[in-house]
A and B are shown apart, each in its own frame.
Chain A
Amino acid sequence: MSSQLSIAVVTLVCVVTLLVGGLGLRLSRATSDFYVAGRTVSPRLNASAIGGEYLSAASFLGVAGLIYDRGTDMLFLPVGYTVGYLVLLVTVAAPMRRSGAYTLPDFAEARLGSRRIRLASSTLVMGIGWLYLVPQFQGASLTLSLVTGAPAWVGGFVVMVVIGLAVGAGGMRSITFVQAVQYWLKLTALAIPAFVLLALWLRQGTPPAIAPDSWDVALEAISPDDHPLYRTWSTLLALCLGTMGLPHVLVRYYTNPDGNAARRTTVTVLALLGVFYLFPPIYGVLGRVYLPTLPTGVRSDTIVLQLPETLLPGLWGQLLTAMLAGGAFAAFLSTASGLAMSVTGVIDQELLRPRLSRFTGGDAPEVRGFRIAAGLAVLVPYLLSRATEPLGLANTVGLAFTVAAATFAPLMLLGVWWRGLTRWGAASGLAVGAVSAVGAITFSLVGGPFTGWTAVLLSTPALWCVPLALGTMIIVSLATPGHIPPGTARVMVRLHTPERVALSRSRLRD
């Protein structure tokens, strides 16, 4: 019974996603429709879409799981996810919109005038996008296995097919509507069961949480090798700076009509995220009350889905579980489609379009290349998700944030605010950031087990990787003053001048 209800709700979410995506098919014609929804999306719709896109499996399931597992310290995760938007707002939101570029590689090329840096950025977009897609597929498999008993490959496969179709059908315009709907779907699906469970808990006389002593003590070392203060600061830095460097976050800013709208959108996003993140801790705490120990082999990422039927056996519990499963699927679908969209854009522009037009002499419709790219963008991470053992949803997502924080964040901060950035500086900073962040994480996963400071420095490397990359960019730029790109002054005018000032030469036409 429970499984049939859940299957019905998950199917409904998938069908709605495809239907709303299909609406975009009729509206999308020009290439710019596919990429940035014709730049006519209002701040409110855009904010809902950003919220819908950003709140992934990690937020819907992973945060509650980590709070259940490791207690108070993990409350800092959603704080980092949210404050990341505040940092984005005050540093790059309006300039990015004014840059007139479609994607991160477009920005890198426009700012630095270098094809090589564009190529490096494209590679990073694909890497970060795929890294972030893997946990979405794994989360889908986990959810579907738990609530329906389906084999492990099914959930991820369903998500892959649905987003492949949605992105290939309508591109960005459809995705904007899909994601705006999905924010509200996710919030409802998480909030209603939370209120019901809280009410039950209050009626039962608020039984206490059963947990190890260190669980509700903030910043207490779990073991002698643990360094909670460093770990917390490093995680916060990765999340705060990583947000701006995530490819699917930035592409949303190009759909705003102007720089002011981009700022207002961000303010609304902060409100939407703040409301959403009030709920995951409730599940974490109630999990400690009612399910103090999990059977072996059951991951704490599933705590959200297990609670309703523990507290409320019978039909109502099953209904709530089905609701949460639907919300979780909405989370996988929306984040994955946003990421797939960005990765698709890069594959299409960098790899396929030049080759397709060589084969066909420009006869192939642009849309066909875009659809092939969409297929590739979802297939690769699906295969990766089948090949790698799950690390824990919020942890894998954290890795993507760390890489973004050590590469794109310094490039964007310096690119927007410092005229002295040179090509050599940017290129070496990107290289140092990527190699140190990816290297440290890989080493900590396959080279270990490590103990003490080595373990902490390798597993949460943002606090040293980001300054290293930023410092490299500044020092190398200062050492190569002859390589400041010739168009820097013009790009700076474009990035910072409000749209109401008429600039016929410096501004690109949309």
Chain B
Amino acid sequence: MTPTPPNQRVRVTSSRRGATTPRRRPVARDLDEQTDLGDVYLAGLMRAQRRLSIIVISLILAGLIGLPLLLATVPSTRSLTIAGVPFPWIAIGVAVYPSAWFLARWYTKQCERLEADFVAVVEGT
């Protein structure tokens, strides 16, 4: 092994080997301490949840404003019968309930997925 001449340049790589890498601070702490960063994440979560809620509420509004409006303005829908039962009774008396249930189930699933994603991000996993 030849000794290295004193003036030769040496390339230094990986200068921090052995040094402790600083632990990444999870966003959960930022949320907890209401830092600006935590605020950004919370605002994002709330925005996503609000969007979901607005979708459901728009559908509710469409149904509950639309159905009475339809019955009031298009008189033929009042006397329409389906299999001998008047259309209004089927629509208001029966069909509303399964629709509400499906909507609720869809919303809950979406919300849980959204929150699982959020947890994964802020816990840093």
Write out the residue numbers on chain B whose beta carbons fall within 8 Å of the beta carbon of A26.
none
B40 within 8 A of A: no
B97 touching A496, Cβ below 8 Å: no
Chain B: interface secondary structure? helix
Q: How far is the CA of A167 from the CA of B49 in the complex (A)?
A: 37
A497-B45, A503-B31 known; A218-B88 Cβ under 8 A: yes
B88 touching A501, Cβ below 8 Å: no
**Residue in chain B with minimal CB distance to A285:** B89
Q: How far is the CA of A426 from the CA of B60 in the complex (A)?
A: 26
Q: How far is the CA of A437 from the CA of B52 in the complex (A)?
A: 31
1/0 per position for A76-95, CB-CB distance to B under 8 A? 10010011011101110010
A453 within 8 A of B: no
Write out the residue numbers on chain A whose beta carbons fall within 8 Å of the beta carbon of B42.
492-493, 496-497
**Residue in chain B with minimal CB distance to A206:** B84
Write out the residue numbers on chain B whose beta carbons fall within 8 Å of the beta carbon of A496.
42, 45-46, 49
Q: Kindly state the interface size class of chain B when it binds its partner.
A: 35 or more
Interface residues of A in 458-510 (CB under 8 A from B): 489-490, 492-493, 496-498, 500-506
Give the tally of cross-chain contacts (CB within 8 A).
Answer: 139
A352 within 8 A of B: no
B93 touching A75, Cβ below 8 Å: yes
Q: How far is the CA of A339 from the CA of B46 in the complex (A)?
A: 32
Q: How far is the CA of A264 from the CA of B68 in the complex (A)?
A: 30
Nearest CB of chain B from residue A234's CB, rounded to whole Å: 11
A274 touching B38, Cβ below 8 Å: no
Known: A218-B78, A489-B39. 10 other contacts (CB 8 A): A83-B64, A87-B60, A216-B86, A263-B107, A263-B108, A266-B104, A278-B93, A496-B42, A500-B123, A506-B32
Chain A positions within 8 Å of B, measured between CB atoms, are 72, 75-76, 79, 82-83, 85-87, 89-91, 94, 216-220, 228-229, 232-233, 236, 240, 260, 263-264, 266-267, 270-271, 273-275, 277-278, 281, 417, 489-490, 492-493, 496-498, 500-506
Q: Would you give 12 A-B contacts (Cβ < 8 Å), ordered by A? A: A76-B68, A85-B104, A217-B79, A218-B71, A266-B104, A274-B97, A490-B34, A497-B45, A501-B122, A503-B28, A503-B32, A506-B34
